[in-house]
Each structure stands twice: as C-alpha cells, then as structure tokens.
Amino acid sequence: MIKMRLIRLLEGAGKYIVQQIVWQWISLLAEVVIVYNIAHLLENAWRENLSTEGIALTMGIVLLGLGFRFLCDRLYTKASFHASADVKRILRNKIYEKMLSLGPSYRESVNSAEIVQMAGEGVEQLETYFGRYLSQFFYSLLAPITLFFILSRISVQTALLLLLAVPLIPIVIMLVMIVAKKLLSNYFAIYYGLGDSFLEKLQGMTTLKIYQADQAAAEDMDREAELFRKITMKVLSMQLNSTSVMDIIAYGGAAVGIISALGQFSKGAISLSGVLMIILLAAEFFLPMRLLGSFFHIGMNGMKASDRIFAFLDLPEAEDGKAVLEEKEIRISMEKLCFSYEESREILRDVELEIPARSFVSLVGLSGSGKSTIAGILMGKNKGYKGSVKLNGRELTEFSSRSILDKMTMIGHDSWIFKGTVRENLLLGKPSATEEEMKEALRKVNLLSFVEAQGGLEMPLLSNGSNISGGQKQRLSLARALLHDSPVYIFDEATSNIDAESEEMIMEVIHELAKSRTILLISHRLANVVGSDCIFMLENGRVAEAGKHEELLKKGGSYSRLFKEQKELECYSDKNKESSAGRHKESFVETQRDTGMEEPGHMEDLQDKTGEREDTVEEGGEKHE
Ligand SMILES: Nc1ncnc2c1ncn2[C@@H]1O[C@H](COP(=O)(O)OP(=O)(O)OP(=O)(O)O)[C@@H](O)[C@H]1O
C-alpha cells in the first residue's frame, strides 16, 4: 500500500506529509471538544439544569472549535498542495534529465507519445498519492487509536468493539488490490497505446487524407477508444463496488458500536452525555479509513503510473565519455566499422572511411545502403557500434555527447523549425548571436530579403515552419546551422525535396563551408557530390568504391553506372520540360525501360535519386545542359 521508491521521491517534501497528519489530528481533537460540550449541554438540558452562562460558554467553545477546524482544514490543504507540487516537480525534472542522458537515441527506447503522457498525466496521477493518500494512510491509523483512548473512558467495551471493526476496511482494500493490480496494468497499457496511436495518426493525417485512409484510421481509433472505454468502466465499477463494501463496513461498524453503547446506557452503565459522545463519534472511527479507501483507488492509479515512470527512469544508458573535443579542426576515421539495429541484421560491414580535416567528403549509395546510419553513429544517436570511429585519433565513445554535439552539426532533410519567430529559431544555433550575425547567416542562405519583407527577425513561424516553403525552411535550418559554427558539418539529404534554386544555393554554401570545415555530404543526387575531395560509394553496408568523381567514372563501377543513369534521366527531363505532366510521366517510364531498370520500385528509386529535377548535371566541375 506504500511504495518505498515513491516515498524516497519526497526528499524535502516529507515535512508536508507530517504537517498534514498533524493538522488532521488537531482537527479531530477539536471535534472531540465540540462533541463533548454539546453532549454535556444536552445532558444538562435533559436534567433541566441549563443556565444561560452554560449555553453561552458551550456556544463559544463550539464556535471556537469550528473556527479551529476550519483553520486546520486550510493548513492541511496547503500542506497537501506543497507535498504533491514538490514531488511532481522532482519527478518531471527526473524525466527531463533522463531524456537528456538518453540523448538523441531516446526514441529507440520509448516513443514520444509515451513521454508526453508520462510527464503530463502520468505525473499528475501522483497528485492524490502524495497530496492525500500518504498522510491519510498514517492518519487513518492514528485517528481510531486516539478515539479509542478517549471513548474507552466512557465504555471500554464499545471503544474496543469499534476499534476491532476498523481493520475490516483495510482487509477489503487488500482484496481489491489483488484485482486492481492486474486491471490497472491493462488499463495503463491500453491508455498509453491509445495515446501513441492518436499521435501517430495525427502526425500522418495529411498522408491518411491523400490515400483516403482517414476513415479507416478513424475506425481504428474508435476501436481503440472503445477498448479504453470498456477498461475504464471496469476500473470505475471495481472502485465503486469496493467503495460500497467499505461504506457498509464503516456505517455497519458504527451502528454496532452505537447499539452496544445504547445497551449499556439502558443498563445505566454509561451516562447520557457518554452515549451521545459515542453516537456522534462512532463514525469518526471509520471515516478516515473509509476515506483512505477512496484515496487508495486514485493513489493506486498513481502507483501504477509510477511503475511506467520508474521503468523509463531505469532504462539503461549508454556510457557517456568524459573527454572534450577541444580542437578547431577535426579529422574523422572509421576502421572495420560494423553496426546493427537488430542482432539478426547487420547494416554496416567493415566500413573503412577517412575524412581529413577541412575536406569535403561525400557518401553515396542506394537507398538503405547505410549512409544515414553512419551519420547517426557520428552524432552519437546510434550507439553500440563495433570496430572503430575516431575523431582526431581518439575513439568517439571517449567523448561526451555534449562535446560531440558541440563540434558537429547535422542538417537533415527534416530539421525541425519551432513555432515562434525567426530570431528564436536562429538563436538555437547560437544563443549569443548578435542581430548582425543572424542577418549575415540569413544573407548567406539568400533568405534575408524574404525575412525582412515579412517583419524581419520577428517574423512569426508556425510549428515546423508550416507557413514557409520547403526550400525556405531548409535554408533557414542551414542559417541556424551556420550560426552553430562547428568544425564538422554533416549534411544528410539536406537538399532533397526542395526547389532547384534552393538546392543550388545550399550547395554553394556547402562548398564555401568546405574551405574551412570538415564536411560529410550524404546525397542521392550525384550531381551534388561531383566536386568532393573523396566520394565513398556504399553498397549493402560496405564501401564498394572510393575516390574522386573522375577516378570513379574512369573505373566504370557502380558509381559510374549510377551517375550516368541519373544524368540521362535528368537530360531527358530537361528536354521534356515543356511537356504536360501526363506526358512527362509516360516519358519517364520509357526512359526507365531504356535504361534497363525494370525491377519494381526502381522507378521510385530513380525519381528519388534525381528528385525529377529540371536543371543541369555537373560533370567534372562543368555544367552539362
Ligand atoms: N532505427 C532503425 N531500426 C532498424 N533498422 C533501421 C533503423 N534505421 C534504419 N534501419 C535500416 O538500416 C538500413 C540502412 O538505413 P539507412 O537509413 O542508414 O540507409 P540510407 O542509405 O541512409 O538510406 P536512404 O538513402 O534511403 O536514406 C536500412 O535497411 C533500414 O531499414
């Protein structure tokens, strides 16, 4: 009924739980005083022994007692608020710290929806546990004992009867707990699953609409929601049923005590005021325990929610190195690098790769050949590689992830633009950036005039930059990356799915950067890698070819084949740029046949590789129409 690991979370908040118990106990004593005085007043009235002073005194004491109880109640609520607020803050900090220590790879262990639910409602579920349940647990033991000592002065037999009936309530709670544990595990599994599924469908809503699969997705959600409704109803009826049983015990127990007191009164063993006190206080024996039963159900939800939170906090963390990358120039080398996401499937096999400082190196290869996996290893997202990855001769794992993220900047094709302003997004790259530095970065990516026309650095941006074009979004991400000013830049398909003009502009910036930084460029579009110092062609997780563009062309291997295919396709598109969309597609299919690539899916692959661009292909540094 009490979870020690949760108690340890209390840290300094333990005093608020003690305060809650003290205020409740004082309030109980005030009630006893009120009841004592009223009982004596009634006895005096029965004996026709009432005096005005006596009535006034009793009324005064009653009013004072009520005032005292009101005050205690306020103080109890305040302490209850502090106890839960402190724990919620501590727990949310722990979740946040855990996210930080899991680093970029957190999604491999837990999904985003679960984190949101855990840190939001999951933590909120603990409010009752800390704010009410814990103090009530101790108070419900203290109250009957206190009342036993007071009422045993009137009748030991009745007081003992009442005291002995109280444990029946925790027995019911224990029995309910056995059923509740399993039910609540199911409840939370379904609850988190529903949240996950909802977020997934919400994020993919556009795609669902495009494929007119939104109705089917809605039906899926309905099914899951119905499942959740059913399990919620089960939990609620279990709670209601146990509450009813506890009510029967509480009021039944009080009734037994009252009957026993009346029996003794009829025999003249106790006075009228004594029997009145027992009648008025009998329920108080049980009410704290009965209330504990109610809090227990909510507290149990919290305890179950905490299981998930603790499981998350206990996730193993890859050891973070301590070394700090100080150098301004960084050389990267990989030897016999192997990596797998799942044991059964090796993604990288003995990759040998050398990226000298201040060089422009490209990684190319068909989709799924392992390019992004390499980028992920360098950024510390993919942990547990075999072989060696060295930065300036020192193993990558020796460096702290903070230091790695400080010295390497990755720009993907889907860098996130946060809701806010252009300024806020740029400051993520360099928090201390001046206005001039930010404008210079925007100028470099040819975005300054656009941003200035939209209100300057205060230009509002919607979540993920949904109020700007794909090309503008990518250029803004690049401006932010430029401000980060790191010795290594990794571009992972940074120019895919954007307009030709933005692509050309981004490539210009990359070439400029390459004069002073180490650049690793991952690109489907081989026209972009032509000017590289070295191109590594990956095939099924192995480096199949490496060299400069001209060398690889001369070699006549996979790179040369792929390059020619792309060039042909782009020239073909160029010739047909006036034709209608329908004709364009037919021509594309024909070209694909001409190039002898008939396997299913290959067309999509090629479209992907060329981006169906209508511009030119560079070869040997020259532009070819
Ligand atoms: N998180 C993951 N879990 C399991 N397998 C993964 C994961 N990420 C990638 N893979 C698998 O690893 C292989 C290499 O993926 P990777 O993203 O590195 O390829 P890529 O060459 O960058 O492909 P693309 O050019 O399409 O981006 C693929 O077969 C992919 O299915």
Strand partners, 519: 360, 489
pLDDT value for 476 = 94
User: For the residues 427-455, what does the mean pLDDT come to?
Assistant: 93
Task: Please report how many Cα atoms fall inside a 13 Å half-sphere around the Cα of residue 609, on the Cβ side.
Answer: 26
Q: Out of 155-169, 318-332, 548-562, pick the least confident.
A: 318-332
Q: Is the pLDDT of residue 327 over 80?
A: yes
Residue 258 belongs to what H/E stretch? helix 214-266
Q: How far is the CA of 397 from the centre of ligand 1 (A)?
A: 22
Determine the topology of domain 332-547 in CATH: Rossmann fold (3.40.50)
Q: Which region among 268-272, 374-378, 490-494, 595-599 has the lowest average model confidence (pLDDT)?
A: 595-599
Is 372 a pocket residue for ligand 1 (Cβ < 6 Å)?
A: yes
Q: What's the rounded Cα separation, in Å, for the pair 140 and 148?
A: 13
Superfamily of the domain at 4-313:
ABC transporter type 1, transmembrane domain (1.20.1560.10)
pLDDT band, residue 573 (cuts 50/70/90): low
Calculate how far, in angstroms, residue 333's C-alpha sits from the geometric centre of ligand 1.
21
Distance 377 CA to ligand 1 centre (A): 12
Q: What pLDDT sits at residue 575? A: 62
Rounded (5°) CA angle 57-21-138: 125
Q: What is the pLDDT of residue 552?
A: 94
Distance 373 CA to ligand 1 centre (A): 6
pLDDT at site 574: 59
Query: Which residue from 371, 382, 602 has its CB within 8 A of the most atoms of ligand 1, so it is best to mutate?
Result: 371
> Of 337, 338, 341, 362, which is best to mutate to test ligand 1, by the most ligand atoms within 8 angstroms of its C-beta?
341
Q: How far is CA 590 from CA 80, 463, 467, 617, in A?
A: 74, 41, 38, 20
Q: Which atom of ligand 1 is nearest to the CA of 369?
A: 21
> Ligand 1: distance of its center to the CA of 372 in Å?
7
- Which structure tokens are listed for 49? 């022994």
Q: What percent of the chain has pLDDT over 70?
A: 90
Q: What distance in Å separates the CA atoms of residue 57 and residue 62, rounded to the nearest whole number?
A: 9
Q: What mean pLDDT do residues 70-88 have? A: 90
Alpha-carbon distance values, 100 to 117, 121, 353, 373, 562 (Å): 18, 20, 30, 21, 41
Q: Among 109-113, 155-159, 230-234, 263-267, whose mean pLDDT is lowest?
A: 109-113
Q: How many C-beta neighbours within 10 Å does residue 42 have?
A: 15
Which pLDDT value is given to residue 105?
A: 66
DSSP string, 368-402: TSSHHHHHHHHTTSS---EEEEEETTEEGGGB-HH
pLDDT digit string, tens, across residues 274-309: 999 999 999 888 889 888 888 877 777 777 778 888
- Report how far ligand 1's centroid is from the alpha carbon of 369 (Å): 7
Side-chain-side CA neighbours of 475 within 13 Å: the count stands at 30
Q: Which atom of ligand 1 is nearest to the CA of 376?
A: 18
* Model pLDDT, residue 49: 81
* Residue 356 tokens, joined: 């000298």
Q: Distance from the CA of 97 to the center of ligand 1, in angstroms? A: 28
Q: Ligand 1 in contact with 368 (CB < 6 A)?
A: yes
Q: Given this model, what pLDDT does residue 576 score?
A: 61
| Token pair belonging to 316 | 């193993």
Nearest CA to ligand 1 atom 3: 341
Q: Is the CB of 67 under 6 A from ligand 1?
A: no
Tell me which of 348, 369, 374, 610 to substitute to probe ligand 1's pocket, judged by most ligand atoms within 8 Å of the beta carbon. Answer: 369
